[in-house]
A = this chain, B = another copy of it.
Amino acid sequence: MTSTPGRPTPAPFCASTENFAEGRDTPRAFLERCLERLDAWEPVIGAFVCTDPSAARAAADAATARWKAGRPLSRIDGMPVGVKDIIETFDLPTQMGSPVFDGWQAGRDAASTMGLRDAGAVIVGKTVTTEFAATEPRGTRNPWDPSHTPGGSSSGSAAAVAVGIVSAALGTQVIGSIVRPASYCGCVGFKPTVGAINRGGSHDYLSQSATGILAASLADAWQAMMEMAVRVGGDPGFEGLFGPATMPAPRRPTRIAVLETAGWAVATEAAKAVLHDAAERLAQQGVAVVTRRTDPRVEAVEQAVHDAWPLSNRINAFESIWPYKDYRSRDADKLSQACRDRLDEAATIGLDGYRKALAERARVRALYAALASDCDACIALPAPSAAPVGLRPTGNPICVVPGSMLGVPALSVPLFEEAGLPLGLQVLGFANGDADAFAVSAWLAEALGVPDA
């Protein structure tokens, strides 16, 4: 085990803004502390593809001036952020974790990048993504133990947030790419309702993919997302992120469903015990907790999401014919075997097979949506265990893919641990109920004993 500079500790931003307003701290000073952590941690974790400290300092100085003048652009004015390298930035290359895009310059900001920048966020750098935000890892290490994976595909975003190099970082999730690395690295992860944040200029083209965030706190996650939503909206034709302008207040749920998912069969006893214990503590506090064994509707959902992973893979494979096939036609040797395999799988599906998969996904989504009538949220493990040893593969997404396939809000809240490594609590909400999912998550974080999640 490589030694690390210390215990990974995130750097919440929104909790600090009062200090900026009152002159006790500045965004520039906040950034300098982040850059110190960058220097200390980056050689160990490899979270960034590239950074631009001088541009970040200039942006932080501008934010400092705005706070001093009493005119911040938003509540995240000056927030140090990372941008997952599947997402375009006009001033830094966008390389998508692939040699096909070595040094490629988009020449513009993606919608999410533009939204953050317009709100005053300070872009520290591009964070490492697996190849095309899929499975092939690109070397980032887990800050809790560098011999373990940080998870993927938002590997660099999770690791960078976990050690406080940035307060938040953009992520994308189509299978398990935000919630799983958040759990592994011990930060908040939030994948919103599908379509909630405009994916223009983000090179994940898949129908169940969503732009979300890794963040130091629930408040930071909510604020960064909402600042983007009001500035650039959701995907074209979608209604965008619903909810209040600031972090929703904690709300005690009346009824919570525990979902085992297909991941239960491969989860460690320790992880299962953690979820069991959490459910019991909630029940002791008067929350009605239902499970597949006590509620037939939960059992129906469990059965319906059991094959979420293969179903999602079929949909993703067909939707990846373009652009993968185009890349393969010129640069086959620059694509991973996993990427070429996905093309081979796609060739067996066809438009009819794809339509059947979409219909099945719509069926399962409707079935899950019915739960909303009397459950406030679902809780589940975000992974079968804490981060496994080794950098390849990036860990098992089996517990997270149901939320991706369902298109619903999904969070990982850093509440637990297993053998000294972090383990999150996954909270699943209902479509467009992202604010409710945050309110319940905040209450769960308090109820389960972590005062400042």
**Beyond A205-B236, A236-B319: 17 further Cβ-contacts under 8 Å?**
A109-B323, A110-B322, A111-B323, A114-B322, A114-B325, A115-B322, A200-B322, A201-B323, A229-B351, A230-B351, A232-B322, A233-B318, A237-B319, A237-B358, A239-B354, A240-B354, A240-B355
Convert A218-246 into 0s and 1s, putting 1 for each residue whose CB lies closer than 8 angstroms to a CB of B.
00000000000111110011011000000
Q: Which of B107, B109, B111, B240 contacts A351 (CB 8 A)?
A: B240
Q: Specify the chain B residue showing the minimal Cβ separation from A203.
A: B200
**Interface size range on A against B:** 35 or more
A108 to B354, CA, bound (A): 24
Q: Judging by beta carbons under 8 Å apart, are B207 and A323 in contact?
A: no
Q: Which of A370-396 contact B (CB under 8 A)?
A: none
Q: Judging by beta carbons under 8 Å apart, are A326 and B239 in contact?
A: no
Give chain B nearest CB distance to A11 CB in angstroms: 28
Give chain B nearest CB distance to A416 CB in angstroms: 34
Convert A100-118 into 0s and 1s, putting 1 for each residue whose CB lies closer than 8 angstroms to a CB of B.
0000100111110011001
Q: Which of A178-208 contact B (CB under 8 A)?
A: 198, 200-201, 205-208
Convert A28-68 into 0s and 1s, putting 1 for each residue whose CB lies closer than 8 angstroms to a CB of B.
00000000000000000000000000000000000000000
Q: Which of B205, B208, B327 contacts A200 (CB 8 A)?
A: B205
A36 to B369, CA, bound (A): 60
Q: Which of A103-136 contact B (CB under 8 A)?
A: 104, 107-111, 114-115, 118
A141 to B316, CA, bound (A): 43
A326 to B237, CA, bound (A): 20
| Contact flag A321-B233 (CB < 8 Å), given A104-B107, A205-B200, A239-B358 | yes
Q: Which of B198, B208, B233, B326 contacts A114 (CB 8 A)?
A: B326
A118 to B322, CA, bound (A): 12
Q: Specify the chain B residue showing the minimal Cβ separation from A237.
A: B207
- A residues near B (Cβ < 8 Å) are 90, 104, 107-111, 114-115, 118, 198, 200-201, 205-208, 229-233, 236-237, 239-240, 318-319, 321-323, 325-327, 330, 350-351, 354-355, 358
Q: List 14 A-B contacts (CB under 8 A).
A: A104-B107, A109-B323, A111-B323, A114-B323, A200-B205, A200-B322, A200-B323, A205-B236, A233-B319, A233-B321, A236-B319, A237-B319, A237-B358, A240-B355
A326 to B88, CA, bound (A): 11
Determine the chain B residues whose CB is within 8 A of the CB of A236 once the complex forms: 205-207, 319
Q: Judging by beta carbons under 8 Å apart, are B325 and A233 in contact?
A: no
Q: Specify the chain B residue showing the minimal Cβ separation from A204.
A: B236
Q: Judging by beta carbons under 8 Å apart, are A108 and B327 in contact?
A: yes
